[in-house]
Amino acid sequence: MIRKITINNPIDTGSVVKEIEPERHFTTDKELDDATLFERFAADSAAKTLSLVLKDDEQVYGLGETVRGMNKRGWTYTANNSDDPDHTEGKHSLYASQNFFIITDGKKAAGYYVDYPGYLTFDVGYTIHEELRIIFTDLDADIYEITGDGENSPRAIVREFRGLTGQSYIPPIWAFGFGQSRWGYRTEDDVREVADRYEKAGVPLDSIYLDIDYMERYKDFTTDDEKFPGFRDFTAEMKKRGIRLVPIIDAGVKIEKGYDVYEEGVKNGYFCRKENGENFTAAVWPGRVHFPDFLNDDARRWFGDKYRFLLDQGIEGFWNDMNEPAIFYSDEHLKEVFEKIEDYKGKNLDINTFFEFKDLVGTIDNNPVDYRSFYHNFHGKNIRHDKVHNLFGFYMTRAAGEAFDRYRHDKGTDKRYLMFSRSSYIGMHRYGGVWTGDNKSWWSHILLAMQQMPGLNMSGFLYTGSDTAGFGDDTTEDLAMRWTEFSIFTPLFRNHSCDGTRKQEYYYFDDVREGKDNPVKAHTDTRHIDDFRKIVELRYALLPYIYSEFMKAAKNYDMYFRPLAFEYAGDTRAAETEDQLMVGDYMMIAPVYKQNANGRYVYVPEDMRLLRFRAFDDYDEEEVAKGDHYVKAGINETLIFLKKGYKLPFAAPGKNVDSMIEDGATEDSLSELKGWKNLQYI
Ligand code: GLC
């Protein structure tokens, strides 16, 4: 059952697709403070807070892409989409806001969705362990309680919630293949080298991502004619080799006379404005930019249609970035900082002034003051950005999603396009997936990625994954291998890294051994790239399972990744196991995420069959009984646990997804396990 209450005058965010009449609409503080919402929440309108008492045995799941574990109890999470590359435990928000959570004691459960697009805090037993508090900036919200349709399990609640918010985005089938990315492929030849070296190493590959360097001076919907001459031909050349190019699109439009996107945006009033009506100026990669007002229907349509520039050149997928939006600085703020810096000149900086001085420059990016200084034209009203901040990435991606619909319509096809975004809010899951942003090459971030998956899936983001092997900081071979052993299960499987970090395309780990970067020339074998190849091939062999389970989850409003707690209700060991995941209906994974470990403890929640893969065609298997086990997993071994009696569909891996598909098969038939070449069951 879904119940709704409305408090004051909420903004219609567009996240919900089903009209639900509110059972109460509170318009005065007194009314609200006197009520017990959903028989559970007490309101304190002066403190702009709703709170409820958490029982000792209650766990809280959800809140999408956040730091820390799957059970969110014990920390404070803030809905405040932030461009922050340090995903440490002390943080409160990352790039996304998904304000949906479930409270369960293992017997009964209830879900809550707080549809509010501004800055919102969830104190989940942080201040007081037995209390969950929701602290608003303005008390204007639609709040939903979801208790399941006939069945009251967390999974049933998720299904009902997703019926409320609409079907998840479904990418094209090639987007389930492996993608290689790096910020730093500066020319066509850099990209060709990636394709050549993967081909030489025999590693399957479906896509190569183009980061900001393909653009002419970081201008959206341009290509650099010197470094990427003949972009259309290049796209076709790569496609012929079975590889799709996936360019990045950034939120900011460079301010440059004569640049059509800029000129049109100015002429038509499509950019976000300051209070005085001037276009708001911020700086991102291209230097000074304006932000398209994606919340304005006309501007959104205009920006969306710009993707055609690349679609018409054969591009079939994109990633939307910097759409929190990230702000390096604003003109106004920069000016203020320079003025203030003057005051410190010649001063002896003491304990107070030194830190003030340091913060002046240190807080110049993504500053809350800037988010309060521009406006949107949303539903015909002028709304200050901070009030709708968390919708910006959603609406940028919606711009693309709606444009793809028009493009499909014009071309008379039903072709799917790849789209995923960094920033998001519930509702965006109908238009694209997400990746988890700028993580680091840290062991703890393999675990973080695993723990982020169920929260994202709950709120509809099924097409998701992390930057495999880590984006920031230097990776190592063992870390990259362990991370890959996890990422082969994520629908979005991409190796991506930051310019300036150690290169982590899998073939680099072999070069070291060939002596290219290693004067000692101690190792000459190719075992290492072979191991990576075998793990990536295992992903391809598992595609019939991964794809059909993904499609089932998308069509049934279900989850592809689930915490064990959702599957084994009432099992307290399952409830506290947060480093294993259910994948689809029949599989459990328990990736190794610790340095120098040759195995790990696994909680097996029911008698299962364990497959230990060294390659898709080289594995051993054993029966494991319900209980705790230490399970061996050498550096190149991937563990898969299957429910008993289940036969795993499995296909011979090809060089890319297309090569594994029989003529005449469709994306729909493949999801029903029809049309894969050499399908077997193991
Ligand atoms: C942002 C993105 C990252 C990308 C970089 C350069 O940090 O999150 O993936 O490589 O920008 O475009």
User: Model confidence over 248-275: pLDDT tens digits?
Assistant: 999 999 999 999 999 999 999 999 999 9
* 8 A C-beta contact, residue 667 and residue 543: no
* Residue 558 Cβ < 6 Å to ligand 1: no
Q: Is the dihedral of CA 283, 284, 285, 291 positive or negative?
A: negative
User: Is residue 387 within 8 Å of residue 375, measured between CB atoms?
Assistant: no
Closest ligand 1 atom to Cα of 182? 10
Distance CA 42, CA 39 (A): 9
pLDDT in tens, 304-315: 999 999 999 999
Per-residue pLDDT at 586:
98
**Which atom of ligand 1 is least distant from the CA of 467?**
9
Distance 321 CA to ligand 1 centre (A): 7
Mean pLDDT computed over 341-362: 89
The CB of 210 under 6 Å from ligand 1? The reply is no
Give, in order, the Cα–Cα distances in Å from 421 to each of 86, 116, 336, 424, 559. 18, 20, 32, 7, 19
User: Distance between CA 344 and CA 337 in Å, rounded?
Assistant: 11
* Cβ of 84 less than 6 Å from ligand 1: no
pLDDT at position 513: 52
Of 328, 396, 438, the residue with max ligand 1 atoms within 8 A of its CB, to mutate for a pocket test, comes to 438
Q: Per residue in 640-666, pLDDT tens?
A: 999 999 999 999 999 999 999 999 999
Q: Which amino acid is at 285?
A: W
> What's the CA-to-centroid distance between 499 and ligand 1, angstroms?
9
Distance from the alpha carbon of residue 445 to the mean position of ligand 1, in angstroms: 17
User: Residue 527 has what pLDDT?
Assistant: 63
Look-up of token digits 């299960």 = 489
Determine the angle formed by the axes of helices 297-306 and 392-411, rounding to 10 degrees. Answer: 60
Side-chain-side CA neighbours of 440 within 13 Å: the count stands at 10
Count Cβ atoms within 10 A of the Cβ of residue 455 and give its class: 0-12 exposed, 13-18 middle, 19 or more buried.
buried
pTM of whole model > 0.85? yes
Q: Which of 65, 321, 434, 494 has most ligand 1 atoms within 8 Å of CB, for mutation?
A: 321
* Residue 211 Cβ < 6 Å to ligand 1: yes
Residue 249 Cβ contacting ligand 1 at under 6 Å: no
Taking residue 416's Cβ as centre, other Cβ atoms within 10 Å add up to 18
What mean pLDDT value characterizes the chain? 96
What is the 121 CA–ligand 1 centroid distance (Å)? 27
What are 47's two structure tokens? 């403190």
The candidate with the shortest Cα–Cα distance to 597, out of 570, 560, 625, 637, is: 637
CB 54 within 8 A of CB 131: yes
Asked whether the predicted pLDDT for residue 521 surpasses 50, the reply is no
Ligand 1 atom 3 nearest Cα: 438
Mean pLDDT calculated for residue range 321-328: 98
State whether the beta carbon of 83 lies less than 6 angstroms from ligand 1.
no
- Specify the pLDDT at position 352: 85
* 160 within ligand 1 shell (Cβ under 6 A): no
| DSSP one-letter string for 413-438 | -----EEEESSEETTGGGT-EEE--S
Phi/psi at 317 (5° precision) = -170, 155
Q: According to the model, what pLDDT value does residue 519 have?
A: 47
State the closest ligand 1 atom to the C-alpha of 438, by its place in the atom list counted from 1: 8
Q: Where residue 300 falls among pLDDT bands split at 50, 70, 90? A: very high
Q: Ligand 1: does its nearest atom lie under 6 Å from the Cβ of 437?
A: yes
CA–centroid distance, 379 to ligand 1, in Å, is 31
In this structure, which residue's CA is closest to atom 7 in ligand 1? 438
CA–centroid distance, 442 to ligand 1, in Å, is 18
The pair of structure tokens assigned to 607 is 């008698």
Condensed to tens digits (0 to 9), the pLDDT of residues 475-511 reads 999 999 999 999 999 999 999 999 999 999 999 987 6
Buried b (16+ CB within 10 A) or exposed e, 261-270: bbeebeeeeb
- The amino acid occupying position 251 is A
Ligand 1 pocket residue status of 183, Cβ below 6 Å: yes
Residue 150, by phi and psi: left (phi above 0), alpha (psi -120 to 50) or beta? left
> Does the pLDDT at position 110 exceed 90?
yes
Atom of ligand 1 nearest to the CA of 471: 9
Residue type, 655: K
- Does any ligand 1 atom lie closer than 6 A to the CB of residue 438? yes
Cα 354 to middle of ligand 1, angstroms = 31
212 lines ligand 1 (CB under 6 A): yes
If you measure from the C-alpha of residue 361 to the centroid of ligand 1, how many angstroms do you get, rounded to a whole number?
A: 22
**Collapsing DSSP states into helix, strand and coil, what is residue 551?**
helix
Please state the atom number of ligand 1 nearest to the C-alpha of residue 422: 8
What number does the ligand 1 atom closest to the CA of 250 have? Answer: 12
286 lines ligand 1 (CB under 6 A): no
pLDDT of residue 522: 46
- pLDDT class of 187 with cuts at 50, 70, 90: very high
Helix (H) or strand (E) holding 297: helix 297-306
* Complete DSSP assignment for 324-381: TT--SEEHHHHHHHHHHHHHHTT----HHHHHHHHHHHHT-TT-HHHHTS-EEEETTE
Separation of CA 68 and ligand 1 centre (Å): 23
Q: What is the pLDDT of residue 516?
A: 52
Residue 523: pLDDT over 70: no
Instruction: Determine the distance separating the centroid of ligand 1 and the alpha carbon of 431, expressed in angstroms.
Output: 21
Q: What is the pLDDT of residue 512?
A: 54
Please choose from 87, 208, 289, 322 the residue to mutate so as to test ligand 1's pocket, defined by most ligand atoms within 8 A of CB: 322
Q: Which atom of ligand 1 is nearest to the CA of 85?
A: 7
For residue 248 and ligand 1, the question of a CB distance below 6 A is answered with: yes
Q: Which amino acid is at 416?
A: R
Q: How far apart are CA 606 and CA 564, in angstroms?
A: 11
3-state secondary structure of 21: coil
Alpha carbons 198 and 207: distance in angstroms, whole number: 11
Q: pLDDT grade, residue 131 (50/70/90)?
A: very high
Confidence of residue 48 (pLDDT cuts 50, 70, 90): very high
Q: Which atom of ligand 1 is nearest to the CA of 437?
A: 8
438 C-alpha to center of ligand 1: Å? Answer: 7
Distance CA 181, CA 184 (A): 9
617 alpha carbon to ligand 1 midpoint, in Å? 36
On the question of pLDDT at 73 being above 60, the answer is yes
